[in-house]
Every structure is written in structure tokens, then in C-alpha cells.
């Protein structure tokens, strides 16, 4: 491996951060480890260090709802590979993470050596998932996952804030843009998700997080 392999761990649990740091130091010689505890610090770190070699991402941390952190990363920093490291071992969740562009999915229950092997695989340009994950069966929600993947980074953030119940005026304030800009983003989100209201967009985003987004009725 490159002596300056840069890896960012994004997790808000200190014990998990420490354990992952130790696992990485033992796996990759000369690894430079960065840490983030929420979406804001994750984004700021990647802005400062755009040549990051890998991000280890938890699905649940401040500023992130379900797949939103992964969606934001893949839209904003498409060249940086992402491994989701999560306590969730639901097979549908794993599949959706791969659909959203993750290069791997590591359950937190894995032993350290397997985790290290997974990280090396992705750093070498491969993809890693648990051996018992069957990706051969068709997934009815893949087309809808692709629609969510088409959202821009700013649209992802707007959708996250809609999911939190914020009004256009509040979102505009948080993102330091005009209310008209937010209205335009909301319109684009509805069009891309093929829904008619912001409520339907929020429901769609919530359902896909649970692996329960039904195929659109004809």
C-alpha cells in the first residue's frame, strides 16, 4: 500500500472510532487516519483533504438519516470509495448501500482480521460484502434507488431537512440560500423521485431506508 494511505472514519461512537482506528493501523502501514462525528465534520474533512483514499461510514450519526450520508458522499465526492460499517445486518439494507454506490459493507460484528481484509480489498479497487450476501436475485426497488441516487448533494441535504419536518424558510436559513432556491430544489426532488408532494418524497425516502420502497403502481 501507499505509505500515505488516507482513511476517514465517520462514526459518532468513541469506542467504535477507537476500535476502527486500531484495526486500520494494524492493517495498513503508514495509514493516516482522519475522524468525523457528524455530516458537517465529514464534509469539512473531505473538502480539506479531497484526495482521501477511503471513507468508513456509519449509517447513523448526527446530520444523517438512513442512506442520506452515503448519498451525499457519492454525489459530492464520487471518486472516494466508501465502505459502510454498520451494526445493521439486514440484507436489504446492504443491497441498497451497494446500489447507492458503496464499495463495501462491513457488519460491526465482524472479527478484526476479516474487517482488515475487507478494507484492503476495497483499497485495491475491489468490492467487499459478507460472503453470504446473495446479490443475484432481482431487487424491485433498484430503479427507485437510482432515482434517489440522481439527487445532487444539495438536494440530498434538502430532502434530509424535509424529513426532519423543516419548512422551506427554515431550510433556506440553514443552507444560507434564498427560499426561492429551496422551492426550486423541492420541485426538482419531486420530479426526480416521481412523486407529487413533499410528504410523498419524505415517505419514499423513509421507506427506502427500511428496504420497503414498493414498486410504483401502474
Q: Among 10, 3, 25, which Cα is nearest to 57's? A: 10
Residue 38: how many other CB atoms lie within 10 Å? 16
Whole-angstrom distance, CA of residue 71 vs CA of residue 212: 18
Hey, what's the cell of 76? Answer: 459530492
Instruction: Give residue-wise pLDDT tens across range 157-179.
Output: 888 888 888 999 999 998 899 99
The highest-level CATH class for domain 142-209 is mainly alpha
Whole-angstrom distance, CA of residue 216 vs CA of residue 155: 22
Whole-angstrom distance, CA of residue 137 vs CA of residue 102: 19
Whole-angstrom distance, CA of residue 85 vs CA of residue 4: 22
Assign 113 to helix, strand or coil: helix
What is the DSSP-derived secondary structure letter of residue 71?
H
- Identify whether the C-beta of residue 22 lies closer than 8 Å to the C-beta of residue 114: no
Instruction: Give residue-wise pLDDT tens across range 62-96.
Output: 777 678 788 888 878 888 999 999 888 888 788 88
Distance between terminal CA atoms of the chain? 51
- Identify whether the C-beta of residue 71 lies closer than 8 Å to the C-beta of residue 149: yes
**Element spanning 105, H or E:** strand 104-107
Whole-angstrom distance, CA of residue 109 vs CA of residue 90: 13
pTM of the model: 0.76
What is the pLDDT at residue 122? 94
Beta-carbon-side half-sphere exposure of residue 122 (alpha carbons within 13 Å): 29
Q: Where are the domains of the chain?
A: 6-123, 142-209
Q: Is the dihedral of CA 106, 135, 75, 88 positive or negative?
A: negative
Instruction: Collect all residues with Cβ–Cβ distance below 8 Å to 142 and sequence separation of at least 6.
Output: 99
Whole-angstrom distance, CA of residue 205 vs CA of residue 48: 30
Whole-angstrom distance, CA of residue 7 vs CA of residue 9: 7
What is the pLDDT at residue 85? 92
What is the pLDDT at residue 62? 79
The highest-level CATH class for domain 6-123 is alpha beta
Instruction: Collect all residues with Cβ–Cβ distance below 8 Å to 116 and sequence separation of at least 6.
Output: 23, 24, 26, 27
Low-confidence ranges of the chain (pLDDT < 70): 1-3, 65, 136-144, 207-218
Amino acid at each position: 500500500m501507499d505509505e500515505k494511505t488516507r482513511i476517514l472514519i465517520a462514526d459518532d461512537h468513541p469506542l467504535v472510532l477507537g476500535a476502527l482506528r486500531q484495526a486500520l493501523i494494524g492493517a495498513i502501514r503508514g495509514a493516516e487516519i482522519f475522524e468525523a462525528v457528524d455530516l458537517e465534520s465529514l464534509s469539512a474533512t473531505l473538502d480539506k483533504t479531497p484526495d482521501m483514499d477511503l471513507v468508513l461510514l456509519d449509517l447513523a450519526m448526527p446530520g444523517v438519516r438512513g442512506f442520506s450520508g452515503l448519498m451525499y458522499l457519492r454525489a459530492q465526492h464520487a471518486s472516494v470509495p466508501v465502505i459502510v460499517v454498520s451494526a445493521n445486518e439486514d440484507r436489504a439494507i446492504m443491497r441498497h448501500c451497494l446500489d447507492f454506490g458503496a464499495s463495501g459493507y462491513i457488519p460491526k460484528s465482524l472479527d478484526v482480521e476479516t474487517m482488515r481484509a475487507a478494507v484492503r480489498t476495497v483499497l485495491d479497487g475491489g468490492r467487499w460484502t459478507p460472503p453470504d450476501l446473495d446479490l443475484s436475485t432481482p431487487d424491485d426497488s433498484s430503479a427507485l434507488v437510482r432515482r434517489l441516487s440522481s439527487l445532487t448533494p444539495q438536494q440530498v441535504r434538502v430532502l434530509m431537512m424535509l424529513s426532519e419536518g423543516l419548512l422551506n424558510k427554515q431550510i433556506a436559513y440553514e443552507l444560507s440560500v434564498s427560499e426561492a432556491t429551496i422551492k426550486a430544489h423541492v420541485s426538482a426532488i419531486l420530479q426526480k423521485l416521481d412523486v407529487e408532494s413533499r410528504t410523498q418524497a419524505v415517505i419514499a425516502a423513509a421507506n427506502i431506508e427500511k428496504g420497503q420502497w414498493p414498486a410504483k403502481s401502474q
